[in-house]
Structure 1
């Protein structure tokens, strides 16, 4: 079977209240943010960063099948994800960005306004795809290659296609995703006449400089197809010569989303076992095997070949994280989606998850400790003379390390608004400080802090700012 469709709703609708604050708050320039001592924005490549879950905030839903990449020039993190269903906002691949090391995310819109016409022509003999799926983003020689899939739901009538760009920055005048057409299609036969599903591409370079695409979903499982650059498409005879990497030899063969990542002389094949896209009933798990050769065989920690049922479970349901999978890996960070049991507004909405991988005895490890956030230090009432700065501080504990988010109220708590100049950063120790300039308009301002991680929230009682003459 092919990947089911996810329930559609614009991420903008979820966070619309937070996006209107620039015009809602009086004397908005009085509210500022402040990092605490030693708190800096760092990139994913820094080895001193602790392994474990990264708490994400901002616009993080609906994100499905996240492909993570970090712009080496700007340090900006980007995630490309499956498009919205029923062609909402065109149904094309979504783009998200973070400028603070993967913590705070915002939507950058979609790659295109509509699905390319040639895809509709490809599927013109029946139902048309409602959205584009499962992107992969790869940089080669200064060009970015965006692979994406389209499929007829419930079949392996599928195509993986390619678009290219010279920049990831949507504000760059040169920013344009140029469609390069189909890369591989199914139900064409692959190695030894087997059937496969041409979705879920993942690109990897072998130690001999040759490039490969891992691809597949259910059916006969996961295959490795050689490709070549600068075209980014399969070499001649690549399907017939494909390597068959994963087959679970069980009813339905529930495996998909292959991604191969090189670390310390080993190639690690990450896949998703189980079923996605069923909300609280989703059974996705991230499994892994490794090989010294990019073409396999890939064995799990017990020495079982992934071609034949092997695969060590790395990440599974824990706490409010239900059905994690659809993964990619970049600079040691595992990106995945999950169904958010802590989302009270839209339970089990598909959400971005990030884990900085640790390594033990040659194997990746993640931290699945579940500790709901708590505020160990809550903000206290503060006062300041007009024109001076008053500070409010909060410290949070929990696992993953919570992020502290601040809100203010100008109407005695009737409504609450986020600081319009952005949220203050949260230090590695869990401390965050909000700074407010004392003015006649901020006299009596209420301030509160919320500690948030993937498993829940904890909100402080309001603290009051008193402005003195």
Structure 2
């Protein structure tokens, strides 16, 4: 869930401004290190629920829940040094189907020669009226043009309909979504901008999960998700989990065969002495040496203001993803992207 407080927003804005030394907070690039290692966090301000794409220009673009209003967009050449370059929307173009709603958990994609951004819109506690919308742009830097809502919770019959994730399979386009009231999937039209006529939703996982991302590797689909509380500061229990399936639409199971419909899962990233509340991952990015990397947010114990951006290598052991020792890295070797 994407809980946001005014105090968190202000503190995050101050933290970001101090880190970037720009009047608008977008002018100064975080210096790219020539070192072969990096340290977490890879972004000093709050950048929750990241979604990432490699642009046609070769750069990486990351989108996040709007602790920076109107959906922040960051840019990087190496997944380590990130520059805030603007926002997906302005006050004039901001979606408005949920009055006073926040823009949460975006999901960026490239569909039919344009960038397509799915987003959640909700007020805290508004699980019955929140929903998912979609916007498009010619460039990953925007501007994004809102195409309106796909559905609201009370229209599609799934409480707390947030956290979209898009995936294509066998020529079909699907949207997965859900937050602690079941994970669901439904087929979209060929342009990805609306629900397919007479498409029916299907429940994929149980009530323990939110923020799903599905990664296909070899003969399996891996459904990453988050469980626990995201937004209680150092008391947050959020962590990243996974199940796998031989089919996109499930069933997804843990190592013992327990179905994710019954809330079975394997833990990928928990907490350590420096970072807690770690979860809601981005898409997996592969570097030039074939190494997989994942971004996600966490809370820094010594400075628990906002949810900072963390980067880690994904290892594959006996057909299952692992990260570090099951907790965020403090420092590690950088991705090879040059």
Same fold (TM over 0.5): yes
SS of the residue corresponding to residue 262 of structure 2 reads coil
Partner of 2:85: 108
CA offsets, 1:74-130, max 9 Å, x none?
Answer: 33122100112xxxx6x311111112x1111121121122275662xx445xxx21x
What runs of 5+ residues in structure 2 fail to find an aligned partner? Answer: 23-30, 286-291
User: Do 1:80 and 1:94's aligned partners in 2 also have CA atoms closer than 8 Å?
Assistant: yes
Q: Quick one: distance in 2 between partners of 1:229 and 1:367? A: 39
Match of 1:179 among 146, 161, 179: 146
Partner of 2:205: 246
SS of the residue corresponding to residue 244 of structure 2 reads strand
Change (3 A) 1:143 1:330: farther
Match of 2:317 among 352, 360, 366: 360
2:236 aligned with 1:282? yes
**RMSD of the alignment, in Å?**
2.8
Match of 1:338 among 278, 283, 298: 298
TM-score (norm 2): 0.85
2:87 aligned with 1:93? no
- State the shift of 1:9 in Å: 2.9
Change (3 A) 1:34 1:20: closer
Partner of 1:386: none
- State the shift of 1:189 in Å: 4.0
Q: Quick one: distance in 1 between partners of 2:293 and 2:259? A: 25
User: Do 1:3 and 1:154's aligned partners in 2 also have CA atoms closer than 8 Å?
Assistant: no
- State the shift of 1:320 in Å: 1.0
2:217 aligned with 1:217? no
Partner of 1:68: 52
Q: Quick one: distance in 2 between partners of 1:187 and 1:213? A: 17
SS of the residue corresponding to residue 181 of structure 1 reads strand
Match of 2:189 among 224, 228, 233: 228
Partner of 1:433: none
Match of 2:130 among 158, 168, 187: 158
User: Do 1:266 and 1:293's aligned partners in 2 also have CA atoms closer than 8 Å?
Assistant: yes
Within 5 Å, which residues of 2 pair with 1:3-42? 3-6=2-5, 7-9=8-10, 11=12, 13-17=14-18, 19-20=20-21, 35=34
Q: Quick one: distance in 2 between partners of 1:68 and 1:33? A: 19
- State the shift of 1:273 in Å: 0.6
Partner of 1:441: none
What runs of 5+ residues in structure 1 fail to find an aligned partner? Answer: 22-31, 40-52, 248-252, 372-397, 403-425, 429-469
Report which of the two structures shows the higher radius of gyration computed on alpha carbons.
1
- State the shift of 1:348 in Å: 4.3
User: Do 1:267 and 1:293's aligned partners in 2 also have CA atoms closer than 8 Å?
Assistant: yes
